[in-house]
Amino acid sequence: MATSINALLCFFLFLLPLSANAATFQIVNSCSFTVWAAWATTGPQTGSGNQLNPGQSWTININAGSTGGRIWARTGCSSDGRGCQTGDCGMLQCQGYGRAPNTLAEFSLNQFNNLDFIDISNVAGYNVGIDFSPTTGGCRGIRCAANIVGECPAQLRAPGGCNDPCTVFGTQQYCCNNGPCGPTDFSRFFKTRCPDAYSYPQDDQTSTFTCPGGTNYRVTFCP
């Protein structure tokens, strides 16, 4: 009996650091219309989704060490969260990433030196503005909330959003799949309007930010 109790205690003590370092994300819909919020990570492969009417919020907890994280808004969906005009993942409870165009709040938690790496990305296009800010931890927030849909170049226009050039053209110049690449006229269109956000896949130097591991966050759509 004592051995079983000791084993149980060790198990819970093992879990304590993970629970302490899990990050809480409050997702807020400040848009004047309904969005279907979604999140997904690749490590581990998981995610979820929820309908948010104007003014509603949704709080989620993401495990420490999660990587490849994205939070985004889906727009123009049917009542069950399917067939969305932007950001569609094929189901209400997303288990993978959504389709472009969609503005992304991205994160990997408790990485090098126990830092969280966060960013906003227009690499998959833009559908709604996003503010991605810490609620603890003392690090800076980031924001992308420009009139990108209204000013979108003709070649990138899409229903409800503004596509990224990789989605439209599929070439190395824009997709950066095979070696280094640089900014283009299209990436500069996004960068001038959202200086803190990724504008092409290798736009790391000005677009990645860090916070201490264990920081909690708020993601606001249409800030």
What whole-number distance in Å separates Cα of residue 178 and Cα of residue 159? 30
Per the prediction, the chain carries an average pLDDT of: 91
What whole-number distance in Å separates Cα of residue 171 and Cα of residue 173? 5
Q: Cα 104 to chain center, whole Å?
A: 4
- Grade residue 165 by pLDDT with cuts at 50, 70 and 90: very high
State yes or no: pLDDT of 159 exceeds 80. yes
**pTM of the full structure:** 0.90
Is the Cβ–Cβ distance between 165 and 184 less than 8 Å?
yes
Structure token pair of residue 45:
């492969």
State yes or no: pLDDT of 47 exceeds 80. yes
- Grade residue 3 by pLDDT with cuts at 50, 70 and 90: very low
* pLDDT tens digit sequence for 179-214: 999 999 999 999 999 999 999 999 998 999 999 999
State yes or no: pLDDT of 8 exceeds 60. no
Residue 79's pLDDT is what?
81
What whole-number distance in Å separates Cα of residue 98 and Cα of residue 89? 4
For the chain, counts of helices (H) and of strands (E): 5, 13
**How big is the chain, counted in residues?**
223
- Grade residue 21 by pLDDT with cuts at 50, 70 and 90: low
- CB-based contacts of 15: which residues, under 8 Å, 6+ apart? none
Is the Cβ–Cβ distance between 28 and 221 less than 8 Å?
yes
Q: Cα 91 to chain center, whole Å?
A: 17
Residue 128's pLDDT is what?
98
* pLDDT tens digit sequence for 63-103: 999 999 999 999 999 987 889 999 999 999 999 999 999 99
